[in-house]
Amino acid sequence: MHIMEGYLPLSHAVGWTVVSAPFVIHGIKRLQHKVREKPETKILLGVAGAFAFVLSALKLPSVTGSCSHPTGTGLGAVLFGPTSMSVLGMVVLLFQALLLAHGGITTLGANTFSMAIVGPFAAFAVYRSGLKIGLPVGISIFLAATLGDLMTYMTTSVQLALAFPDPVGGFAGALLKFSAIFAVTQIPLAVSEGLLTALVFSTIRKYNARELQELNVIGKEL
């Protein structure tokens, strides 16, 4: 991630765009509703979008046609829900493709699915599960951002393995190779992202506790 412009076969590029579209459309409706209901959340939306843009713009070479970096989408997923983050993530990816030549337009659907859909859904599920079993908010945030990051890269590995199966091992062989190459750089990056996200969330919580309560991110007793 990001998969570069023109790297995926056309059928795969179109397919991932079709799969991603319903999530983004639903996310747009969710965001519009949230902004109308609570206009003050625009600042937090800006913070979540900027956080994802900056972190996901940090590129480390990982494998031909791709690169490795933090994603930054766990924060927005926890604050606004995974479908809302799908919109912010897609916008981030679009601007990076146009302004930084990071990713591409034809691969926007595939990159959106891995970074802006699977990652945020995983992060949101981990965060809510952590709270449900009684984990502290900070630990839940850390685990959410870390595992959301890793799930993004596992999804990218699946996408690349589907597009370029190994001549001998097929899909399974290609998946093993892609995921192994990503894991070398991604595990420490994911842990670092988890720690940074927990720190940023702690700062937001300190100054915006009321907004977090209204968004049902934290309870009034926390």
Nearest to 115 by CA among 171, 55, 40: 55
Encode pLDDT of 129-153 as tens digits.
999 999 999 999 999 999 999 999 9
Cβ proximity of 5 and 97 under 8 Å: yes
Residue 156 has pLDDT above 70, yes or no: yes
Cα separation values, 38 from 25, 80, 101, 214, 222, Å: 20, 12, 35, 9, 21
pTM of the model: 0.91
Q: Is residue 122 part of a domain?
A: yes
Summarize the confidence of residues 167-193 as an average pLDDT. Answer: 88
Nearest to 206 by CA among 192, 195, 191, 222: 222
Residue 222 has pLDDT above 60, yes or no: no
- From CA 197, how far away is CA 141, in angstroms rounded? 7
Exposed, middle or buried by CB within 10 Å (0-12, 13-18, 19+), for 172?
exposed
Summarize the confidence of residues 12-31 as an average pLDDT. Answer: 96
Q: Is residue 219 part of a domain?
A: no
Q: Is residue 171 part of a domain?
A: yes
CATH number of the domain where residue 128 is located:
1.10.1760.20
Q: Is residue 75 part of a domain?
A: yes
Residue 53 has pLDDT above 60, yes or no: yes
The C-alpha torsion from 129 through 135 and 136 to 141, rounded to 10°, is: -40
Residue 101 contacts by C-beta under 8 Å, 6 or more apart in sequence? 5
Position 221 scores a pLDDT of: 44
Summarize the confidence of residues 65-83 as an average pLDDT. Answer: 86
Summarize the confidence of residues 168-188 as an average pLDDT. Answer: 87
Q: Is residue 51 part of a domain?
A: yes
Residue 66 has pLDDT above 60, yes or no: no
Cβ proximity of 215 and 80 under 8 Å: yes
Summarize the confidence of residues 172-184 as an average pLDDT. Answer: 86
Residue 64 has pLDDT above 60, yes or no: no
102 prior amide bond cis, ω within 30: no
As a whole number, the mean pLDDT across the chain is 89
Count: domains in the chain: 1
Summarize the confidence of residues 25-54 as an average pLDDT. Answer: 90
More confident residue, 14 or 6: 14
Summarize the confidence of residues 40-46 as an average pLDDT. Answer: 87
Categorize the per-residue pLDDT at 164 as very low, low, confident or very high, splitting at 50, 70 and 90: very high
Categorize the per-residue pLDDT at 183 as very low, low, confident or very high, splitting at 50, 70 and 90: confident
Question: Domain limits at 128?
Answer: 10-214
Cβ proximity of 84 and 116 under 8 Å: no
Q: Is residue 181 part of a domain?
A: yes
> How many other CB atoms are found less than 10 A from the CB of residue 4?
18
